[in-house]
Chains A and B, each alone.
Chain A
Amino acid sequence: MNRALDDIFKKFPDAKRDSLIPILQEVQESQGYLSRDAVVEIGRYLSLPTSKIYGVATFYNQFRFQPLGHYHIQVCRGTACHVKGSLGVLDAVRRILKIEPGQTSRDGLFSLEVVACIGACGLAPVININGEFFARLTPDKIVAIIDTFRKEAKKNEN
């Protein structure tokens, strides 16, 4: 893992504070999230305290601090989806999985992310799970979808 970080750092040879965001983006891109270890390493590389890095990273919605779940749920909160009730969809996911955007469920199965328009306005309100779109959702449908994935995970386990 450190090797991977080193490779990223190599792309930013004279480390300055303004490289922080691009570095955070690359690290998240390659590891799926910003781990504590990664933040500590970045801090060492840029001579920045971890509190500062965490502060900057939490300022933007794009960064997450928990590994992605087995199923990564992206809830679209673009305008079209909003008009068609995406807030209810988001609330349903939060309620069922007991996680907030940016978090991962304890069993590691699901993670949640809120995204701006994903360009599927015709299907609004829409979510995307591991690349697959689910269209015209209602809270009830969410229950069924999550259930299906839970069952699938169970089956794969056996």
Chain B
Amino acid sequence: MATIEVNGQTIEAKPGEMLLATLRRAGIHVPTLCYLEDLFPSGACRMCVVEVEGERALVPSCAYPVRDGLKVKTHSKRAVMARKTIIELLLSNHPDDCLYCERNRNCELQKLAEELGVRRRLYVGEKNNYKVDASSPSIVRDPAKCILCGKCVRVCEEIQGVSAIDFTKRGSHAVIDTAFTQGLNVSSCINCGQCIMVCPTGALREHSHIKEVIEALEDPSKTVVVQHAPAVSVSIGEEFGIRPGTDIDGLLAATLRRLGFSRVFETSFSADLTIMEEASELAHRIQTGGTLPMLTSCSPGWIKFVEEFYPDFIPNLSSCKSPQQMMGAIIKSYYAETQGIDPSGIVSVAIMPCTAKKFEATRAEFTQGGRSDIDIVLTTRELAQLIRMRGIDMKSLKPEGADTPFGERSSAGKIFGASGGVMEAAIRTAHYLLTGRELEELKVQAVRGMQGVKETRVRIGDLEIGVAAVSGLINARRLLDEIRAGRRDIQFIEVMTCPGGCIAGGGQPLNQDPDVLRARAKALYEIDRVDTLRTSHTNPSITRIYDEFLGKPLGEKSHHLLHTHYARREVML
């Protein structure tokens, strides 16, 4: 332990850690713009500067290792002035669009300008007239609002291993861009939205589809149905001041009905379906010597990643569609059939914690007779926006249940929202399928938690298989490289694009606090802990849909509706 003095007060520090970490632990707030937890500090923005006794210049606290006896002033006149000047300079060519900006009241630049008391424009710089890139179905880039903090570039490269974007040009012309300034839609971008999550301004945002939803809801000739993903009910409350980690499943269903959706389905139900198909596929591959390791296919960013960077692993991808797309396929077939509705009159909306789901919904693979299975995808954030627009006070509503025939889900389908959840749910069902017996302990602790790589070995009868759950595609990259190089001890791999899984998806409320993310995951596992229906194969609604409609897992109808295949994708890598 080291002891340092900050603003006259003595605090404990761990030697070698960066000063910023010490300050944060002690509850001393120093603003940052380019700092990213767990990544090497880039020291680019200099917002975090503080005065250290003995140092002539101000030092960036995010990149300054602590040592014993340090004397620090975090809010001296000099430090505060320096920060204020940085903000004033950043604002010199800023569009000042706050009233029209997606990040209004939730913008770090705006917040800092306010905190530092910026009240007039001191510097006037030439405004850039960059074009907005709205080519991607998932992400909109608006470089005019970019303050060049570089966080998006680093996340894209260091967390996701994609590097779709980088700094280009220099000086006052510097701008974040794709290779050859092509649209994001034709770049290697996998639509994960993690860049949005770290962007301090409105320079990155999701491609909004709120207008389309409103139009559909106002069109009397349409039946507008909605599904919501497992991770949404444990995060959307944060947008309305509800404590992080609170599951508001029932309020969410009630709210969606108030908004005018005629049916509210839970994607967790089709997650159960995914498990039936995927566990059967795994069992089949193991029994028949099929391609292993099998890789999960629920996360559309990951799918695009494989198509682009690891096409040699396409045969390893499970052929199962994602839960969103399974639900979509079922709604416009089974549901339409049983309700006597023409599928062309259905608008199928999905509320997702994910920006890549918007892209997924547009894929040609997921159409029937030229019609998309999913018509519109909203992120958790967009749904919150829609709820605010409609003036609905969620907290005053009474919880309601989801609609049948897709109402009942098992809690296995709910834990999909956390990294390791698909794996755990699949193990539960695969064990039953391969041995005819239930697992003694349904909880698979080794694949729970926020770590980027979780590996373990699982006994299924006389069989022992190696499994891994990874999230953050840089981790997937490392694992696939090991497998390419000859690693053979893993048979089943769950990959989630976003670090920690969907609870931390690119469409979620803009909160990157690890405690908040953990609380969201905990809420999902708590649902699983108390639920009485904890395996997909024992879900009576699942049994019914197979009896009435699908036949059996991997059967003819399943094959047609619930499975797909992928192909190599040519983009500039």
Residues of A whose CB lies within 8 Å of any CB of B are 36, 39-40, 43, 49-55, 58-59, 65
Contacts and interface: CB of A to CB of B under 8 A. Distances in A.
Contact of B163 (A36, A51, A59): A51
B573 A40 contact: yes
8 shortest A-B CB distances, which residue pairs? A49-B163, A50-B179, A55-B166, A51-B166, A54-B179, A58-B168, A51-B179, A50-B572
Given A40-B572, A59-B169, 20 more contacts: A36-B179, A39-B180, A49-B162, A49-B163, A49-B166, A49-B179, A50-B179, A50-B188, A51-B165, A51-B177, A51-B179, A51-B187, A52-B166, A54-B177, A54-B178, A54-B179, A55-B166, A58-B170, A59-B168, A65-B180
Interface centre among A49, A51, A54, A65 (most CB of B within 10 A): A51
Nearest to A43: B573
A50 B169 contact: no
Contacts of A53: 179
Contacts of B177: 51, 54-55
A39 B187 CA distance: 14
B303 interface: no
Contact of B166 (A36, A40, A54, A65): A54
Interface centre among B164, B166, B170, B187 (most CB of A within 10 A): B166
Nearest to A34: B180
Given A36-B180, A43-B573, A65-B180, A49 B169 contact: no
Nearest to A37: B572
23 contacts: A36-B572, A40-B572, A49-B162, A49-B166, A49-B188, A50-B179, A50-B180, A50-B188, A50-B573, A51-B163, A51-B164, A51-B165, A51-B166, A51-B177, A51-B178, A51-B187, A52-B163, A53-B179, A54-B179, A55-B177, A58-B168, A59-B167, A59-B170
Contacts of B166: 49, 51-52, 54-55
Contacts of B157: 49
Interface centre among B157, B163, B169, B572 (most CB of A within 10 A): B572
B180 A54 contact: yes
Nearest to A36: B180
A43 B308 CA distance: 15
A39 B165 CA distance: 15
Contacts of B170: 58-59
Interface residues of B, number: 18
Contacts of B162: 49
A49 B177 CA distance: 13
B126 to A, nearest CB: 16
B169 A58 contact: yes
Contacts of B187: 51
A39 B168 CA distance: 15
Given A55-B166, A59-B169, A49 B573 contact: yes
Contacts, number: 51
Nearest to A54: B179
| A interface secondary structure, majority | helix
Contacts of B573: 40, 43, 49-50
Interface centre among A39, A43, A50, A59 (most CB of B within 10 A): A50
A134 to B, nearest CB: 28
A55 B168 CA distance: 4
Interface string B67-98: 00000000000000000000000000000000
Interface in B165-202: 165-170, 177-180, 187-188
A125 to B, nearest CB: 24
B168 A54 contact: yes
Nearest to B178: A51
A59 B166 CA distance: 11
Contacts of A36: 179-180, 572
Contacts of A55: 166-168, 177
A112 to B, nearest CB: 17
Contacts of A59: 167-170
Interface in B139-159: 157
A156 B179 CA distance: 36
B98 to A, nearest CB: 30
A50 B188 CA distance: 10
A39 B572 contact: yes
A9 to B, nearest CB: 17
A40 B187 CA distance: 12
A31 B166 CA distance: 25
Contacts of A39: 179-180, 572
Nearest to A49: B163
Contacts of B167: 55, 59
Contacts of B164: 51
A53 B168 CA distance: 9
A36 to B, nearest CB: 6
Nearest to A65: B180
A84 B418 CA distance: 67
A59 B573 CA distance: 20
Interface string B187-221: 11000000000000000000000000000000000
A55 B180 CA distance: 9
A51 B573 CA distance: 8
Contacts of A43: 573
A36 B188 CA distance: 14
A54 B153 CA distance: 14
Nearest to A60: B170
A7 B170 CA distance: 31
A136 to B, nearest CB: 31
Contacts of A52: 163, 166
Contacts of A50: 179-180, 188, 572-573
Contacts of B572: 36, 39-40, 50
B342 to A, nearest CB: 45
B275 to A, nearest CB: 35
B521 to A, nearest CB: 31
Interface in B297-326: none
A32 B178 CA distance: 22
A123 B306 CA distance: 58
Nearest to B157: A49
Contacts of A49: 157, 162-163, 166, 179, 188, 573
B567 to A, nearest CB: 19
